[in-house]
Amino acid sequence: MWVALLIFALAPNIIQVDANISKSMHLTWGVRHASILGEDLHLVLDKTSGSAAQSKRSFLFGSIEMLIKLVPGNSAGTVTAYYLSSAGSQHDEIDFEFLGNSTGQPYTVHTNIYTQGKGSREQQFFLWFDPTADFHNYTIHWNPTAIVWYVDSVPIRVFRNHEKEGIAYPNKQGMRVYTTLWNADDWATRGGLVKTDWHSAPFTARFHHFRARACKSGGARSTNQCASNVPANWWTSRRYKQLSHSQIGQLNWVRNNYMIYDYCTDTKRFNGQIPPECFKPQF
Ligand SMILES: *[C@@H]1O[C@H](CO)[C@@H](O)[C@H](O)[C@H]1NC(C)=O
Ligand SMILES: *[C@@H]1O[C@H](CO)[C@@H](O)[C@H](O)[C@H]1NC(C)=O
Ligand SMILES: *[C@@H]1O[C@H](CO)[C@@H](O)[C@H](O)[C@H]1NC(C)=O
């Protein structure tokens, strides 16, 4: 109740980011060949440069939604990224990265989360569709309770807030939305074995329909200001705190059939010291 009142009291400051990409984002790299027009953002990579864009605002919590159509054909060596990040050495970050592949071979969806500068929490998946044939919905849902990575409304990963048990959670630093397309053939393709085929350049990744049902960053948690499209019960309702039974079913389906890598099972990498959140319930 108090939360709802607070949000309405702050209504004059509501955050309107549900408009054009052209109003809410700007190009920061490769501006010569990338473009933003209305609802559409095209990032381009050729031999001279990749490209990038970022949101003008930063957010503290929100449901950040983007429709993306990835580089088609021989995209091996290219990486398209869509992520939230704060600034500084103790930065927080929530990542979706799409590693291209040879024609007809599947993309890898690489996810990660940094809290106070610490990452190394990768999970990787294949997709159950061709992400280059059409636009698909990649949404990062980030509230005080949990972060959920959604692909076409199917949750593929959850990182819950276990701050009380000493595991850092991103809830103090505002984050901007970033998109980039770059050449990563030194690592993305089987450790650099497959090189980017520049005969297929320029490569284009298309973004469309950027929506942020988000809260404004800055100030104490109790004074967050949320957009009018953020449900008033966002902070309190069970619905926004945990996945439904059917969503848990979907998440397990993804993990059982499409998961390629999970840092939580990589005992060799961590010398047997698996990170503590791996032992906590995540969904
Ligand atoms: C979005 O951008 C296009 C092209 O710049 C413009 O014609 C349109 O009015 C804009 N729509 C909104 C809702 O701002
Ligand atoms: C490319 O596809 C092969 C399967 O043919 C897969 O093993 C490999 O992980 C994929 N590479 C990337 C970067 O997605
Ligand atoms: C994208 O997915 C999110 C999360 O499930 C959902 O809330 C949103 O309505 C979807 N958007 C579109 C355009 O389908």
Distance of alpha carbon 185 from alpha carbon 271, whole angstroms: 28
Q: Cβ–Cβ contacts within 10 Å for residue 56, how many? A: 11
Asked if 211 contacts 82 with a C-beta cutoff of 8 angstroms, the reply is: no
pLDDT tens per residue, range 33-86: 999 999 999 999 999 999 999 998 888 888 899 999 999 999 999 999 999 999
Pocket of ligand 1 (CB under 6 A): 19-20, 22, 38
Ligand 1, atom 5, residue with closest C-alpha: 38
pLDDT tens per residue, range 73-114: 999 999 999 999 998 889 999 999 999 999 999 999 999 999
Collapsed DSSP state (helix, strand, coil) of residue 6: helix
pTM as predicted: 0.90
Ligand 3, atom 6, residue with closest C-alpha: 153
pLDDT tens per residue, range 256-281: 999 999 999 999 999 889 999 999 99
Instruction: Please name which of 80, 105, 118, 277 lies closest in space to residue 190, comparing C-alpha atoms.
Output: 105
Q: Is 97 a catalytic residue?
A: yes
pLDDT tens per residue, range 1-26: 344 444 433 333 334 455 579 889 99
Asked if 123 contacts 262 with a C-beta cutoff of 8 angstroms, the reply is: yes
Q: Best mutation site among 21, 65, 148, 246 for ligand 3, i.e. most ligand atoms within 8 A of its Cβ?
A: 65
Task: Identify the band that residue 238 occupies on the pLDDT scale cut at 50, 70 and 90.
Answer: low
Total domains in the fold of the chain:
1
CATH classification of the domain holding 73: 2.60.120.200
Domain that holds residue 60: 4-279
Q: Which residue has the tokens 């901007």?
A: 176
Distance of alpha carbon 262 from alpha carbon 254, whole angstroms: 12
Q: What is the number of residues in the chain?
A: 283
